[in-house]
A and B are shown apart, each in its own frame.
Chain A
Amino acid sequence: MIHFALFGAGRIGRMHAENLARRSDAKLLYVVDTKPAAAKALAVPLGARQADAATVFSDPQVQAVLIASSTGSHAELSIAAARAGKAIFCEKPVDLTMAKTELCIREVERAGVPMFVGFNRRFDPSFRALKARLDAGEIGRLEQVLITNRDPGLPDLRFLRTSGGLYLDFTIHDFDMARWLLGEEPVEVFAWGAVLVDKRVKTVGKDIDSAMLLLRTATGKMCHINNTRRAVYGYDQRIEVLGEKGMLRAENLAPTTVEQFGAAAACADNPWPNFQTRYAAAYAAEVGSFIQSVERREPAEVGPRDGRQVLVLAEAARESSRSGKPVKIKN
């Protein structure tokens, strides 16, 4: 039984809290939020209490913290948790800057506490099965990876300005998938960004809304990522890997499998509309993986160094998009 304190009572924090509540090997003790009322509203029905950070870090009962607060606070809270000897589950990204990410890694490694970074997609049952079958050699040596990642709709334009930009905020998930599936580090990144969905993404958000990327590894494996902030048909999440002996694909999931055949067309459900629904199983599984690693004193399946590596790729993509040239990665 691992005792948790949750930081962040927003949308993603609520989801994690509810996942913890469903588990028999976890107990949520505290919820911390800059808005105490929100923390209380989430904590009380789940049998937990609202608290401040100092209380959480000084309570020896708290074994693990789950950091789901705003991105800017992740590194700071992780460092404080490390110093207090707590195991850390941190939402992605660790930080938008390399300096703070590296500082965090140093502090966490010095304290010797386990730290898990929430790249939830690795825990999606379909993607996980695909990876396991890839590792089992079903398609032989891997050659190409294609990742489709499209959001259903534009976020708030003001959010974009503080998001770190498409590559750091959004493509970061794909960089993690790419590293995971390729099984080796990309050595070069090429990215083309575009504003195709809404001109205000550029004028107000100072960002881009569409991108295509190519990654290359030292042994010549290739990976393509395509992104948009707006796919009107839903949250489009697909993976395809080509190997010498075949191909593995994981398609979109939909709420139901019902198909309607009419005079005009045959229709099926749209993909799940958003990440909460699409990756519900993944969010539940990732916290399970974290708990297991803490209990068994094993390294976290996705650690802060993974969090750092995707930031390297995201920064390279941003640089490539800016310069129009491929960017080499030093590993």
Chain B
Amino acid sequence: MLEIAQFGAGRIGQIHASNIAAMKDVRLRYVVDVNAEAAAKLAARYGAKVAAEREAFADRAVGAVLIASSTDTHARLAIDAARAGKAIFCEKPIDLSLEKVDACLREVKKARVPMFVGFNRRFDPSFRALKSRIDKGAIGAVEQVVITSRDPGLPPLEYLKVSGGQFRDMTIHDFDMARWLLGEEPVEVYAIGEALVDPKLKALGDIDSAMILLRTKSDKLCHINNSRRASYGYDQRIEVLGAKGMLRAGNKTPTTVERADAAAVASDKPLHFFLERYADAYRAELDAFVSALRRKQKMPVGAEDGRQALVLAEAALKSLQTGGPVRVR
């Protein structure tokens, strides 16, 4: 039985807790949250206990921690978990600053504990099938990747203020997908971005719309397009062109019902947002984490992946600020 201490009882924490509860031989032992009421409510639902941080780390029965608290606590909690010898599942991003990410990675490496970073999209069944078909050579050598990633609506300004900006907060997922699909590291990033949805974001120094190009050493090309507001839903698509063909994964819809009437043929909009769209992916990533732990295998998405995605986000930000492409080491 793997006993898990979970940090964070918010929206994403609730998803993870319910997924833990559904797994065999895994138990949610503790819920830790600064909001005692939320922690108590979530713990009660799954037969867990509310605990303080120190208590969770000190309990030798705890084999792994799941960090789903606010972003600014991820690195600190991951470091404490590493020092306590716990395996770590950490929500993305590890931190908004590369310095803190590197400090975290050092401690994790020193403690030799496994660390998984929650880039959930790699575990979406469609994206995963697409990737495995690339790897099997279904389209030959990869030449171009196009990633469409659009949120259904602007988050609250209060959130945006502490989000780290669009590239670190939102595009970070796409940078991870780009690395994963390209199969090699991007060496150069060019980004353009604007506050087209809400000009108020300009005052925050942020953007809500962006187009990005990435290039790898062997000249594979990747395009990412982002918007914080696609009125028709959460738009999540991938397209990969190779020497022998193209692979595409489109949006998922709640149902496949189509209505044809005098005006048009209409079908469902894409699933509304990440909790719905990536429900399968959240389940599968936790499975992958637990399975790698049990088999003592390398984590399929590790701390180093979390770092590389942030390196690309920072390069994109620098490109946006300087107006030119930025080389990535």
**Contact indicator B190/A190 (Cβ below 8 Å):** yes
Tell me if A247 counts as interface (CB < 8 A to partner B): yes
Question: A248-260 interface mask toward B, CB cutoff 8 Å, 1 = contact, 0 = none?
Answer: 0000000000000
Inter-chain contact B211/A224, CB cutoff 8 Å: yes
Asked if A242 meets B150 with Cβ closer than 8 Å, knowing A143-B196, A144-B209, the reply is yes
Which B residues from 106 to 154 make CB contacts under 8 A with A?
Answer: 141, 143-144, 146, 148, 150
How many A-B residue pairs have C-beta atoms within 8 angstroms? Tell me: 102
Given the complex of chains A and B, what is the CA–CA distance between A301 and B191 in angstroms? 34
Interface residues of A in 16-36 (CB under 8 A from B): none
Which residues 177-193 of B have a CB within 8 angstroms of A? 190, 192
> What's the least CB distance linking B324 to chain A, in Å?
5
Contact A212 B231 (CB under 8 A): no
- CB contacts (< 8 Å) of A195 on chain B: these are 219
Q: Which of B290-329 contact A (CB under 8 A)?
A: 323-325
Partner of B243, one of A188, A197, A244: A197
Alpha-carbon distance between A210 and B227 when the two chains are bound, in angstroms: 26
Interface of A, secondary structure class, is strand
User: In the assembled complex, how far is the CB of residue A111 from the closest CB belonging to chain B, in whole angstroms?
Assistant: 41
| B215 lies within 8 A of chain A by Cβ | yes
- Residue pair B221, A216 in contact (C-beta under 8 Å): no
Min Cβ gap B209→A in Å is 6
- CB-CB < 8 A to B229: which residues of A? 244
Complex interface: chain A residues within 8 A of B220 (CB): 194, 196
B209: chain A residues at CB < 8 Å are 143-144, 220, 222
Within the complex, the shortest CB–CB distance from A209 to chain B, in Å, comes to 9
What are the interface flags for B196-239 relative to A under an 8 Å C-beta threshold, 1 for contact and 0 otherwise? 11000000000001110101000111110101011110010000
Contact of A233 among B150, B211, B246 (CB under 8 A): B246
A202 to chain B, nearest CB (A): 11
A226 touching B211, Cβ below 8 Å: no
Q: Is the pair A212, B211 in contact by a Cβ cutoff of 8 Å?
A: no
B223 touches A226 (CB 8 A): yes
Residues in chain B near residue A214, CB distance under 8 A: 190, 192, 211, 213
- Which residues of A does B touch, CB under 8 Å? 141, 143-144, 146, 148, 150, 188, 190, 192, 194-197, 210-212, 214, 216, 220-224, 226, 228, 230-233, 236, 242, 244-247, 324-326
Contacts beyond the supplied A143-B227, A196-B243, A246-B231: 18 A-B pairs with Cβ under 8 Å: A141-B196, A143-B196, A144-B225, A196-B143, A197-B243, A210-B219, A212-B221, A212-B222, A214-B211, A220-B196, A228-B241, A230-B243, A242-B150, A244-B231, A245-B231, A247-B235, A326-B190, A326-B323
